[in-house]
Amino acid sequence: MTLAIAHAEREIGVLDAMREVRPPFSPEAVVAEFAALLRYYRISRITGDRYAGEWPRERFRERRIEYEPSDRPKGEIYRDTLPLLNSRKVELLDLPRLATQFVGLERRTARGGRDSIDHAPGAHDDMANAAAGALLIATGRRPMVITDEVVAEVRRWAPLPPRMYW
In a domain, 166, yes or no: no
Q: Could you tell me the CATH number of the domain that includes residue 19?
A: 3.30.420.240
State pTM to two decimals: 0.81
Q: How high is the pLDDT of residue 53?
A: 86
In 3-state terms, what secondary structure has residue 20? strand
Please state the rounded mean pLDDT for residues 11-40: 95
CB 11 within 8 A of CB 139: yes
CA distance linking residue 90 with residue 132, whole number of Å: 10
CA angle 139/19/72 to nearest 5° reads: 45
Average pLDDT, the chain: 88
In a domain, 33, yes or no: yes
In a domain, 162, yes or no: no
Please state the rounded mean pLDDT for residues 85-101: 95
Structural domain that includes position 81: 2-157
CA distance linking residue 68 with residue 43, whole number of Å: 13
Write out pLDDT tens, residues 126-154. Answer: 999 999 999 999 998 655 556 677 667 66
Domain count for the chain: 1
